[in-house]
Each structure stands twice: as C-alpha cells, then as structure tokens.
Amino acid sequence: MFTLVEGVLTITCDRATYERAGLPGTPIPDPHARKHGTPKFKIELNLRLPSMLAGKKGFERLLHAAKSAFVGQMTWLFHDISSDLSTPDTSLGENVEIKQTTAQTEELKEIIIPPFPTDDADVSKSNQDDVTDLLEWLSLAAISSPRIEQGDLVDEIISRYSVPNTSTSATSTTQTLTKITYTGFLPNTVIADIFAKLVIAANKSWFAILVQGFDGDKGVVVLKTQDQRALCWDLEG
C-alpha cells in the first residue's frame, strides 16, 4: 500500500518486497499476528528533501526500488482539498478520472435495536463484554447484516448470533434504520462537520458513526444515545 501526504511517501509491504526494495524502513508491530505470521514493514520517504531530486542518491535508490520491487501497473487515488472541480485538472496526465464523493443511502427495515447503556454501571469494567457485544452489533449494522433483522431464520449451523441485551433497565426494540455511507478520502474537517450535524438532527434520538481507514487501517466508532451519552471505540487495523 502506498500513501503520499504532505510530500511524505509511505509504503507498507511484506518482508520479501521490503528486502528487494533496499530502502530503510521499520517493522510494523502486530499484537494479533500469529507466531509464524508474515510481518509487514513500513517505509517512509520525504520526497521534498534535496536528496530526492533527480540524479541524487535518495532519488536513485527509490528509482531502483521501483524497478526491482514495486513493479507492475498501479492505480493511484489522489485527494486535493484545495482543488476546484469546476475546471478540469490535467496536471497528473490525461488519463486521470475525477470522482466526487457522494453519499449512498440505504434503509434497513425491522432491525432489532439492543438497549443502550443508561448509566455508568452498564459500561463499567465488569460489563465490558456487554460493551463489546454492542460494538459487534454496530459492526453488523454497518454491513447491513440480516443477522440483526426481526425474524431472521438463519440455520444455527451457519450462525448462532443473537442481538445482545446490554442494559439492566431496558429491552430491545425494532426500528427502521437509515445507513449513509461515504467512500473516499474525507478530511477530518468534513467528518467533524457531519458529526456536528448529526448531533443537532438527532437531539432526542440516537446515531452511530464509523470511520475506517484504507486497507484495514485504524478507525473509530462513536455511539450517541437518546439520553445524550456517548460511547467511543478505537479500532486497530
């Protein structure tokens, strides 16, 4: 995986590619990796340094890596927050395809909604399993899973999932949910604006927002409940 932000090129690759590239990098720690799993490496190069000018040592090393390790055709996705899409931009070549990020809306009908935590006891250390179950339910809602639909009759051999009861003072309800999905590069200012508008629009209701990076990168989930409480989860890749 390649990312280029503020002139810094970051390359994530496996050990074999890393060794062929011959570029300085560091292993990426993975606490969930198996004992004999394949580690990944991260290479960071500041392309704005004088050593990255054509003909310089740094540039030549990167050029060698591109020819020996990072071979084949690649499609790059660029996001320029200062660009004006009203006029065509050919600075990256004639084959550049400009796409605008638009919202995809989907209605999820007859969804079983678990009771959300209503006091500190519901989210205490002794009830962390319930909080984890709630995160699992939110993840299933995010992918429109039929497992959380009222009347789901999947064979128990395939799935034994059931919507959790995560509160001691309430029961599950059935609602129609609206799922809005944005796919693409989103600056944190855009995400903050979406979140602020949701807080205002859902003043007496609940909502959840999930933000996920590319290629299984880190993410965050925020659940705002009817009683103005907020639960947050940090997701590791």
DSSP string, 181-192: E--S---HHHHH
Q: Is 23 within 8 Å of 61 (Cβ atoms)?
A: yes
Amino acid 180: pLDDT: 93
Q: How far apart are CA 40 and CA 93, in angstroms?
A: 32
Query: How do the domains of the chain map onto residue ranges?
Result: 2-68, 104-235
Amino acid 78: pLDDT: 72
Q: Which helix (H) or strand (E) holds 134?
A: helix 128-142
Amino acid 190: pLDDT: 86
* Paired tokens of 149: 């639909």
Amino acid 153: pLDDT: 85
For 8-25, the DSSP string reads EEEEEEEHHHHHHHT---
Question: What angle is formed at CA 217 by the lines to CA 212 and CA 219, rounded to 5 degrees?
Answer: 40
Q: 80 in helix, strand or coil?
A: coil
Is the torsion defined by CA of 164, 168, 174, 179 positive or negative? negative
Q: How far apart are CA 144 and CA 176, in angstroms?
A: 12
Amino acid 146: pLDDT: 92
pTM, full prediction = 0.69
- Other C-beta atoms closer than 10 Å to the C-beta of 163 total 21
Q: How far apart are CA 98 and CA 103, in angstroms?
A: 16
Q: How far apart are CA 215 and CA 1, in angstroms?
A: 8
Q: Which residues of the chain have pLDDT under 50?
A: none
Q: How far apart are CA 162 and CA 221, in angstroms?
A: 21
